[in-house]
Each structure stands twice: as structure tokens, then as C-alpha cells.
Chains A and B, each alone.
Chain A
Amino acid sequence: MKRLEILKTYKIYIGGKFPRTESGRFYPLENKQGKHLANICLSSRKDFRNAVVEARKAFGDWSNRSAFNRSQILYRIAEMLEGRKAQFISEIVFQGGTNKAAEVEVDLAIDRLVYYAGWCDKFTQIYSSVNPVASSHFNFSVPEPTGVVAIIASEKTSLLGLVSVVAPAIAGGNTCIVLASENKPLCAVSFAEVLVTSDVPGGVINILTGKSKELHTHFASHMDVNAVVYARDNKEEIKVIQQTAVNNMKRVFVYDTIDWNKQESQGPELILDTLEIKTTWHPVENIGSSKAGY
């Protein structure tokens, strides 16, 4: 008798653990030919709230880590993904992609992680300034992470769209909750398995599956979320998010026209979006005014 295949249960990823959705609901995922691929968790508002709690808890540690350490961990994610490339390619193919396109997507995703790994300990230098004020003060501005970022990833890709928005957010020292593509969620869940083996502390990245239609208002209204990133092009959802995010003045970033397959879709500006600029003033004992010089 032919060996019976073990099917994978796709769960969500919250606080470094893999729970099933609190709602107990799921949606069936089918490929273009109508073949049933898996039952995917239909995350609820409660799942999202749990994820925010975990992301907030993780924020102190993650934002306090050295930039070098964050950089090492992002690179480690890339390493682990490279090692499990075949799985991701087959999942993309499983969801209807061609072999060639799947390879390109996974390669791009890995390279993108490496790209942002490199930025972790550099963006502070390019976005900081020492400001020559007219008074006798030392005045400087440095970026800091904004906090917990809620992300609705692109619907178009399985892995690349998710990596492209998560990587800049965590490179900047934020923690995040990301909603995976509804049509192509398989790689997102498997990516969580990469994360747990990549030294990423639990709670730094939380991955939910489900429908933006059900969740986007909660992403925008939750009072302990500092920023919302929306990488889809539904105009109605964009409007609602921008209206609802006002409750606690969340920063809202809409990437509705970015094609994540392009090299130009990556850049430090995406890191800057979820950063705050802090300016510190400190008095200077003005020895220069005594005309001492060197």
C-alpha cells in the first residue's frame, strides 16, 4: 500500500507559540484547480488582542537590544530560510505558482532579510543628526522605534510580501503583528517555524491568518498599537483604517502601489516610517567663549 502522507496543521504564531485560533473557526484553502490544500485559522479579534499583548511585552527587550544583536538575528532568519528553501518553494507551487517564480520569490525573500539585517546598525547613523543650535547646547536627534506595529501584508504573495514589511519594522526595533495573505497563507505559517529557530524572541513577530475584512478595523482601533502598515490596495479599507487609527494617533503607512518583486521596493525609508525622531538638548560648558582654542 502507498504510504499515506501526513498533512500539516497550519496554526497561527503568537508570543513564540503556535496556538490554534481562539475562535475555533477556519477557512478552507484551495488552489486554482479547486484542490483542498489545508484548513487555515480564521483569526479573531481576540487572537489579535492576544498578539498585541505579546508584542508589547516583547518590545522592551527587543528595542533595548544592541543594533548589532538585532542585525545578527535578522541574518540568522535568512540563514534558516535558506536551509529550508525547498519547503517554501514547494508551498508556493502548491498554492499555484510556477517552479521558476517560486524560486525567485524565495531567493528574493532571503536576500531581503539579509538586506535589512545589514541596516539594523546603520539606519541610526544615516537618520541621526547633531544640530548646531545658536545657544550653548549640545543638541542631537536620533531615531527610536515607535513601538508595536500592526501590519496587513500584501495579498499578492505568500512569503515575499510578508518578509518585505516585517523585516523593516523589526530592524527598527519595533515588535509587530502581521496578517498574512488570505489567498496564499501557507508560507507565512511556515515562516513562523523559521522564526522560532532563528533566535527571534517570542512576541517580536506575531503572525495571524484570516481575513482583512474582519480584522482591519481592530488593527486600526487597538489603543496599544502605535502604527499600522497596510500593504493592500482596498480603498475602502484604507479609508477606514485612516479614520479609525485617529483614536490614539497611530502612524498609518499605506503601501498600496509597491511591487515587492522589485529591488526598489526595499530601502531604509521603510524602516524610518516606523521610527520616531527624538531630540535631546544638553547644556555645554562653553570653554570656547574664553577664546582658549587649541
Chain B
Amino acid sequence: MSKKPVLDFTSTWAYEPAPESTDHINIKKQYQLFINGKFVNPVKGKYFTTINPATEEKLADVAEATDEDVDKAVKAARVAYEKVWSKMPSKERGKYIYRIARLIQERARELAVVETLDSGKTIRESRDIDIPLAANHFFYYAGWADKLEYAFPGKNPKSIGVAGQIIPWNFPLLMAAWKIAPALATGNTLVLKPAETTPLTALILAEIIQESGLPDGVVNIITGAGKTGAALVNHPGINKIAFTGSTNVGKSIQKAIAGTGKRSTMELGGKAANIIFEDAPIDQAVEGIINGIFFNQGHVCCAGSRLFVQENVAEKVILKLKDRMNTLIVGDPLDKNTDIGAINSKEQLNTINKYLKIGKDEGAEFYQPSCSVPKKGFWCKPTLFLNASQSHRIVQEEIFGPVLAVQTFRTIEEVIEKANNTPYGLSAGVWTDKGSKVFNLTSKLRAGVVWANTYNKFDPVSPFGGYKESGFGREGGLHGLAAYLEV
């Protein structure tokens, strides 16, 4: 094995730029709130700006919903629930959801480009993962609408009412789909609040919903920041809160709704262990490590941010990992060759940089490849911290960036103990050639999703959600229906 990168992309293997065209994209100057089937001005007339984190250029002004707007949206959802949606035959409900799925597919390219512009994620991912999966979620749950009695045999499941849904900035359209599709299929109406840094695709989704002919008020989409979210959480007309985001915010929401009888599901943070055994297929495992932590710039709650390598293969794995990191292309998210796009916001970049400093101060060995990053925009090179220990903050705390903390282990008992030594429990990865070891490990890891010899795979039919402080409830699959029904 060479000390230098094995693959030299700078000379014989130069990639020509392959930027995705933005010609067909029409981003409006200003976006209103989507309430009761119409785009309306915010009552107080306040707007905020959403920018492209790769260029720091302004994309659009977006309405900021205040208490009055939240109230209007919740009331519209209540009327739609009582007068229309809960009374509609379930197969008709399903057909509306199918329509939405189809319309997302029809506008997939537009959605992918806007997603990349607004969030900084690579076009490769928004085109191949975010948008198709979002459409698939609507397809999957559309089919459940008229089959709910099969999901809970012996029961007569009923919708809950009006759901308040708050989603994060890391998978803007996909998270909207995760929340909206099952809520509609189970007969609920809703008010959704996208994240303030990435509201645009949810607003295109609002256009799609309008185009689908979905009855007014069934889906309401209101934009804003934390204050808007808090108004939604505290609104007495909400029956259920569905939240995806940080553990801290999740906790404050839980406190706010204590004693109110509001139901909730929480998809919160993670600090996943990705475990590589000596008998693992090393090259595939290295790809798995890369995908585990650098997918979506590491802005992934289930990111494999703690790497555990069995001691006797550690040197080899780390060498190969460094080599592979040197081939990653960091830069223009719209370029189809780009592997790592822009950090979602200046604020998030500051958080990541804070952790880079903490990691160095704690004494972990720091490694970044020698790639260049654009001058404007928010960027972080893929980063390794070697020889990290259990007590390091970079091992204990969620960074939500392309930063991997590497530890080694000798025995299975040791790695189980270390892997479970975190308040989180969202996901984990296991790499080994031995089936019995896979199943032993997957049963002992306290995490809601375990990827064996793969990582960061998602599918609408597959339940997703955490143990411990990673939250409760499941989204996706049959188990995802329960959160929206009284059984």
C-alpha cells in the first residue's frame, strides 16, 4: 500500500465539470404561506431570506408565519378534517395521495435542482435519493389508505385529527413526504413547517398539492423559524406533534406539550457506531464508512459518525480510508461529479468548526485530504479524527457534519459496550463476513436501524426511528402508520 493516494484524479483521471442546468427552474422572488388551499400573505407581512449556501446568493424571500398565521392554518386544517377529509371514503383519499406522488415524479428534475440550490446538497443525491424517495413515500402510503384494518388486525383504527409537523433542513422534501404521506393516508389533516434555511421544495410541494386538487385545508404549509414552530406546538387545536430535528428541541417540545394530551413522535439526534470487523470485506467497508459519514455532508441524524475498527485491520482500513477520502470531490453541488456539497448554513458551519477545534484540543489526531474548496459559500472538508476515545466530546456529541471519530477495539464484548455507550440510539452499522456475527451484533446494538454490510439505506416500506434519546415512534413502513392512528 502506498503512502500517497492510489488514485490520482488530478492528472490522468481529470473529471470535466458536469453542471446540472438551472435554465428550466423558476424560483419566485417571494413565497407566501400555503393555507386553506391558497397562497396567502402573512398577516404581519414579515418575510425572511433563503440563500444558496454554496454561493451565499439570495434565492427568494419567504413568508414568516406568526401566531395569527399559525392559528389560521390550524383552523383551516380542523375544518378540512371535520367537514371533508375524515368523511371521505378511504379509497378516494388514497387516490389523492397517488396523484401527489405522480406529480412529484413529473416535476422531479425541478425539485432536485431547487433542493440542491436551497440546501447545498449534491445534485447526485437530490436527484437519485431525496426526490425519488419522497415520491415513493407518497406511493407507499397512498396504498395503505383503504387497508388500515389490515395493519391492526382485530382493531378499528381511527384518525387522530390535526397534526402539527416540524421538519429539519437536512432532507427538506423527503422529510415533508415522510410526514405528510402517512398523515393523509390515515385520514388526518395537517400543518407542516419546513426549516427556515430550506423552505423552497416544500413550497413547490404546496403547488403540487394545489394542482392535485386535494381539498382545501387538508395540507397547510407555513414557513418560519423556531418561533413559528413553537406557536404550532403550543396551539390548542393540534392533536399530534410530529417532530424531526435535534434532541434539544425535541425535549423542549415534549416539555411544552406535557399534560396537554397531545400525542407526539420524535425523530431526534444520533451518534451511530459503524463497526468494522477483521473479517469484513474491507474495500466495501471503506465505501460504507465513506457513505456512512459523508453522505449529505454528514447532515444526517443516522450518520455513522463513530467508526470502530478491529485493531488488527485498523492500519489497513485507515490507509484505504484516507486514500478514498483523497478522491472525494468537494465543491459545486450542482456538478454531477461532486461528492460533498456545501454545509447547509453559516450557523451549522460554525458548529462544525467549533467541534473541529474541540477535537484537536482533546488530542485526537486530525486528518483532512488536500482538496480545495470554493472561496464563497460554506464548506467543510471531509475530516477524520484518529485515536479518539470514549470520553472525547467528538465521540459523545452529535456534530452533524462530515467529521468522523475513529476508535479501535479488540473483542466483540468491547465493541458492543463502546457502541452502546451513548445516550443516542438511532442507527448502527456492522461489517463482517460472518452471518452469525451479524445477527449477534444486530440484536445487541441498542439502535432502531441497523445496517449490516451496508449503510444509510432508506425505503418507504422500512420503519425508521430511534431508541433512547434518539426519540420514539417509527416512520415508514407498517409501523409508521401507528403514530397517526388511535388504535
Contact = CB atoms under 8 A, between A and B. Distances in A.
B463 interface: yes
Nearest to B259: A239
B85 to A, nearest CB: 25
Contacts of A246: 251, 254-255, 258
A132 interface: yes
B450 A280 contact: yes
A279 B254 contact: no
Interface string A104-147: 00000000000000000000001001011111010101001010
Interface stretch (B162-170, B221-229, B362-370, B466-474): B466-474
A238 B259 contact: yes
Given A131-B477, A133-B462, A242-B254, A248 B423 contact: yes
Contacts of B327: none
Contact of B469 (A240, A249, A276): A249
A243 to B, nearest CB: 4
A277 B451 contact: no
A139 B463 CA distance: 10
Contact of A281 (B255, B259, B454, B472): B454
B103 interface: no
A282 B448 contact: no
Contacts of A235: 259
A132 B461 contact: yes
A74 to B, nearest CB: 22
A248 B268 CA distance: 12
Contacts of B487: 269
A245 B250 CA distance: 12
B358 to A, nearest CB: 23
Contacts of B474: 277
Contact of A134 (B136, B423, B451): B136
A249 B449 contact: no
B266 interface: yes
B453 interface: yes
B397 to A, nearest CB: 15
B221 to A, nearest CB: 27
Contacts of B464: 279
Contacts of B478: 129, 131
Most buried by B among A131, A132, A239, A281: A281
Contact of B479 (A141, A226, A240, A281): A141
Q: Classify chain A's interface size.
A: 35 or more
A249 B259 contact: no
Contacts of B467: 146, 276, 278
Interface string A233-269: 0010011111101111101000000000000000001
B448 A276 contact: yes
Contacts of B212: none
Contacts of A137: 454, 457
A279 B449 contact: yes
Interface residues of B, number: 42
A281 B463 CA distance: 11
A283 interface: yes
A159 to B, nearest CB: 27
Contact of B448 (A238, A241, A278, A283): A278
B469 A248 contact: yes
A222 to B, nearest CB: 14
B449 A129 contact: no
Nearest to B427: A279
A90 B441 CA distance: 50
Contacts of B41: none
B376 to A, nearest CB: 37
A269 B155 CA distance: 10
Most buried by B among A126, A146, A235, A277: A277
A251 B472 contact: yes
Contacts of A139: 459, 461-462
7 contacts: A144-B443, A239-B258, A249-B266, A249-B472, A279-B463, A280-B450, A281-B457
B452 interface: yes
Nearest to B447: A278
Interface in B259-279: 259, 266, 268
Interface of A: 126, 129, 131-135, 137, 139, 141, 144, 146, 226, 235, 238-243, 245-249, 251, 269, 276-283
B462 A131 contact: yes
A43 to B, nearest CB: 25
Contact of B457 (A135, A146, A245, A249): A135
Nearest to B467: A276
A235 B251 CA distance: 20
B259 A242 contact: yes
Contacts of A226: 468
Contacts of B469: 248-249
A144 B425 CA distance: 13
B459 A135 contact: yes
Nearest to B429: A281
Contacts of B442: 278, 280
B451 to A, nearest CB: 5
B337 to A, nearest CB: 23
Nearest to A139: B462
A243 B268 contact: no
A115 to B, nearest CB: 14
B259 A277 contact: no
Nearest to A269: B487
B465 interface: yes
B59 interface: no
A277 B250 contact: no
Contact of A131 (B247, B255, B459): B459
B463 A249 contact: no
A276 B426 CA distance: 11
Contacts of A247: 251
A277 B477 CA distance: 11
A135 B461 CA distance: 11
Nearest to B449: A279
A245 B91 CA distance: 40
B84 interface: no
B258 A243 contact: yes
B230 interface: no
Contacts of A243: 254-255, 258-259
Nearest to B474: A277
Most buried by A among B153, B250, B464, B472: B472
B438 interface: yes
B448 A281 contact: no
A239 B254 CA distance: 11
Given A131-B462, A144-B443, A246-B258, 19 more contacts: A126-B153, A129-B479, A133-B462, A135-B457, A139-B461, A139-B462, A242-B257, A245-B254, A247-B251, A249-B250, A249-B266, A249-B268, A249-B469, A249-B471, A251-B472, A277-B463, A280-B450, A283-B452, A283-B454
